[in-house]
Structure 1
Amino acid sequence: MSRWQWLLTRLTRQLWFRATLIGALGIAAGLAALTEHLAPWDLATTIGSDAVDSILNIIASSMLAVTTFSLSVMTSAYSAATSNVTPRAIKLLIEDRLTQNVLSSFIGSFLFSIVGIVVLKTGAYGDKGRFVLFIVTIVVIALVVVSLLRWIDHLTRLGRVGETTERVEETTQRAIDWRCANPYLGGSPAPANQAIPESALCLTADTVGYVQHVDMAALAEQADCLDSDIHLLAAPGTFVYPDTPLAWIPSPCQDDEAPHALKCIREAFTIGKERSFEQDPRFGLAVLSEIASRALSPAINDPGTAIDVLGRQARILCTWARDQKTDQEPRFPRVWVEALHTQSLFEDAFNPIARDGAALIEVQMKLRRTLLALSQMGDTVFRQAAFEQAQRALERAEQALSHEADRQRLRDLR
């Protein structure tokens, strides 16, 4: 997607955006009954203003209390996840759609009832208006009941280690699936560690942060404008600082449009303070590995979580070994991108676990089985990366394990 589409997607994942949208719908629903003269029917109703007013007062007071309680529960859940899982996973909890929808419905119901009470007190509603308001109120009550039931079920899992780890795995799996389908971000494959010619023009970053998103369509458009190839150097996940090369073109351009094109190329890179999951599968694997490392710390001492993470990482890397489409036709042939290094994926996924769990035989057994299984999959590079990682983990374990029988058990695994 383009940079603006990506930014819009990020915006719609914010809690305040959804709460504002549904809150506005609640206000509109409260004011809709003022259009009673447009109603095509003529019903004689005996609904008094006191009856509707009482119901609206109940909704207003209860929704305010429920929203306040829900926010306190969310804060506690985020704090628990920060302590027991990893702060990097909190972003996924904050963007949880069910949580945002439920809280937004509570806020929208509260605003609907407040607007209804205010307008009702002014006497602006006629007989048909009060009838319409009563019907809408019944619908709002039904929606609140459904939201409460979903919220109660969701609260039993919110912030738990297993639930949070599951979210990280799903997000990382989506990133891996996307990268398998677009191994070069939709561009052409560039040689690894290609030397930059002295005559090339390098475009550098002007800020410090992580590359969160690269607008490949914008780069392709500017490549056509300059009639030149563009070689990408800073892929999503790269930490950059002023003067870090982002991309280079083979030779300086003398065209009058060149300054604008070079500016557009630099703007195609979205740089932020934190890494994002969407185009950066290495970040997801690193977060999973961080969850396992925290579980292996003496303060938590939960090797079961580390073993669970190893299984999740194995599923993700199986997809990488099986589904890479390196031979597909590039959508942006004039933009050259290096492939995501398989060795880097293995290092992000397994190095911290091999280090922090070196003295735990149950973790090392699971780690070695996982890596040896992965060493039988994929291409030569994938198998070699898995085997090398298994050997490194074995060397760490042999130094950390105090019992010779445990060391021999690891050696006997083939």
Structure 2
Amino acid sequence: MSDGLITGVLGDAKVRRPRLLSPLREHLRDTMWFAPTAGLVGAMVLWVAAAELDSQIVAAAQEDGDYDTIKSLMQIAEDTKVVISTIGSAMMTFIGVVFSISLVAVQMASGQFSPRVVRLYVRSRITKITLTVFLATFLFSLMTLTSFDSESDPRLLTNVPLIESILAMAMVFLSLLLFVAYVNGTLRMMRISFVIDRIARESFRVAVKHPPEGAVDDERLGPATARITHQGRAGVLRDVHIARVVRAARRHGVVLRLLPRIGDFVVPGTPVFTVHGGAAPSRSALRYTFSVGVERTFHQDLGFGLRQLADIALRALSPAVNDPTTAVQALDRIIQILASVAGYPLGALRHRDRRGVVRMVQPVPDWTALVDLGFAEIRGCAVGNPQVIRRMLAGLDDLLRLAPEKRREPLLRHRELLAQAVERTVPEAADRAFALLPDRQGIG
């Protein structure tokens, strides 16, 4: 196990640990149905409450014999009925516009950036909020129309949708504001600089950030006493419910070591846990402890951000695109991510119970794996693009100054391989000297 262990205590404020329901929360964020469905339910609840309030207002006026007030309310309701009808039809047009813009943005991102970045648009909060409010406004307007009473006698009237009409107009105003914010946010996400920045920010949320604690004593787990295999469907290991695994291991007095890394593809029968110190927990105790899906997520995957940035750079360096400036922008963030973890222990996470006893060991990429992920493929495609070569050399030099001595080897290896590739492929000495000159802007 290289580079030591990252030690973390559940609930320790120094180490960011997933919340109890974080896997479920993350999975819901990867869907487009949950927020609109919740919005529709909320709209129904709001309409029922507003309709009841309108009914009580009319009933109170009837009890007081204040029929002039009821007539005034009826006149106001008739005036607003046309507006509510217009709102109902207009919101469907707005919903179609939002859906069309989203499809165009997703198609462009998949074709020009990388298919892996499409999930950024799926997880976009402003898109979900806008669609949710639009659908809720449409449903609320339709339900408000059903509240208009055709009775003209104030004594027999049961409801005047005054509060409902006011709320419908307020929701329209909110929808217009959200539409402006949605267009602005979508246009930003169609620019590669903001996509790369978003990937980097998501990556920093995954990284475990705490000051290096020096050497960590390797607690002896002892020999493996059992193995637990995957019995579900094949797919990518998306995340592990750490709190539930720790709780199951504590109840059985064992330590569970996760074998695949987050992001690995697992098939039925693949060993996922080794048990140390006793008998394996039952299947029911470990139910829903890990999630398998069709694609990787940011939730617990330390290398997924680097994977996306490398994909963007590779597509930018392809002959069909030939956009080295975008590759340089991706390299900027790759270097930033690597610099942020250069001094931290890597290799595995140890999760403890409330008493401080290690109950789960989770593998994470070590320093060499992260450096190779960030540079290996881009280095192979960078030859012939002096802008990218110069930026990569400058980035490697910066990381060599930041990384501890024991982590210099993979950086030096990539630097030497890049220099050798330039020597082999660039015939002119002046061009070689120009390409091998480090520059943080590539060619500023």
TMscore range, shorter length:
0.7 to 0.9
User: Given residue 251 of structure 2, which amino acid in structure 1 is its aligned partner?
Assistant: C
Contact 1:296 1:306 in 2 (8 A): yes
Is contact 1:63–1:106 with CA below 8 Å preserved after alignment?
Answer: yes
Report the Cα distance in structure 1 between the residues aligned to 2:348 and 2:30, rounded to whole angstroms: 34
Please point out which of 379, 402, 405 is paired with 2:430. 405
1:280 alignment partner in structure 2: 301
Aligned counterpart in structure 2 of residue 245 of structure 1, from 252, 266, 271: 271
Distance 1:214 1:355 in 2: 34
1:393 aligns with 2:418: yes
Gaps of 5+ in 1: none
CA contact (8 A) 1:30 1:113 kept: no
Partner of 1:129, secondary structure, is coil
Q: Does 1:180 align with 2:197?
A: no
Report the CA distance between 1:19 and its aligned residue.
0.9
Worse-matched range after superposition: 308-317 or 42-51: 42-51
Which residue identity does 1:169 align to in structure 2?
A: A
Partner residue in 2 for 1:356: 381
Map of 2:98 onto structure 1 = 70
Distance (whole Å) between structure 1 residues aligned to residue 171 and residue 254 of structure 2: 58
| Separation (CA, whole Å) in 1 of partners of 2:40 and 2:351 | 44
Q: Distance between the aligned counterparts of 2:346 and 2:383, measured in 1?
A: 35
C-alpha RMSD over aligned residues: 3.3
Relative to structure 1, the CA distance from residue 202 to residue 83 in structure 2 (aligned partners, 3 Å threshold; closer, same or farther) is same
Residues 238 and 383 (structure 1 numbering): CA distance in 2 closer, same or farther, change over 3 Å?
same
CA deviations on 1:348-373 (whole Å, 9 max, x unpaired) are: 11112111122211110101110111
Identity %, equivalent residues:
22
3-state secondary structure, aligned to 1:321: coil
- Which of 222, 225, 229 is residue 200 of structure 1 equivalent to? 225
1:61 aligns with 2:89: yes
User: Using the alignment, how far apart are the partners of 2:202 and 2:178 within structure 1?
Assistant: 25
Contact 1:210 1:240 in 2 (8 A): yes
Partner deviation per Cα, 1:334-392 (whole Å, 9 max, x = no partner): 32344531111111111121111222111101011101110111323333332222222
After TM superposition, the score normalised by the length of structure 1 is: 0.85
Matches within 5 A, 1:338-357: 338=363, 340-357=365-382
Q: Which residue of 1 aligns with 2:260?
A: 234
Does structure 1 residue 87 correspond to structure 2 residue 115?
Answer: yes
Partner of 2:184: 153
Q: In the alignment, residue 258 of structure 2 is paired with which amino acid?
A: L
Counterparts in 2 of 1:284 and 1:326: CA distance versus 1, 3 Å: closer
Is 1:268 paired with 2:261?
no
Aligned length: 401
Contact 1:214 1:235 in 2 (8 A): no
Among 11, 22, 32, the alignment partner of 1:15 is 32
Q: Per-residue deviation at 1:398?
A: 2.9
The change in CA–CA distance for 1:328 and 1:167 in structure 2 (over 3 A counts) is: closer
Structure 1 residues 84, 118: CA separation in 2 closer, same or farther (over 3 Å shift)? Answer: same
Q: Any unmatched runs of 5+ in structure 2?
A: 1-17, 440-444
**Residue matched to 1:132:** 163
Q: 3-state SS of the aligned residue for 2:401?
A: coil
Q: CA deviation at 1:190?
A: 7.4
Which sits farther off after the overlay, 263-272 or 336-345?
A: 263-272
- In structure 2, the partner of 1:38 is 56
Partner of 2:274, secondary structure, is strand
More helix by share: 1
1:189 touches 1:337 (CA, 8 Å); kept in 2? no
Tell me the distance in 2 between the aligned counterparts of 1:91 and 1:188.
39
Report Cα offsets for 1:91-124 as digits up to 9, x if no partner: 1111100111111111111111111112226659
In the TM superposition, residue 4 of structure 1 has moved relative to its aligned partner by 4.7
* Kept after mapping to 2: 8 A contact 1:377/1:383: no
Question: Of 144, 148, 161, which residue of structure 1 is paired with 2:175?
Answer: 144
How many Å separate the matches in 2 of 1:130 and 1:37? 8
Residue 141 and residue 98 in structure 1: after superposition, are their counterparts in 2 closer, same or farther (change >3 A)? same
Give the structure 1 partner of residue 195 of structure 2.
164
- For residues 182 and 227 of structure 1, do their structure 2 counterparts lie closer, same or farther at Cα, with a shift above 3 Å needed? farther
Task: Decide whether the 8 Å contact of 1:180 with 1:324 is kept in 2.
Answer: no
**TM-score normalised by length of structure 2:** 0.80
Residues 234 and 268 of structure 2 are in contact (CA less than 8 Å); yes or no, is this contact kept in structure 1?
yes
**Contact between 1:26 and 1:109, CA under 8 Å: does it hold in 2?**
yes
Give the distance between the partners of 2:139 and 2:348, measured in 1 at CA.
55
The correspondence for 2:239, drawn from 191, 213, 226, is 213
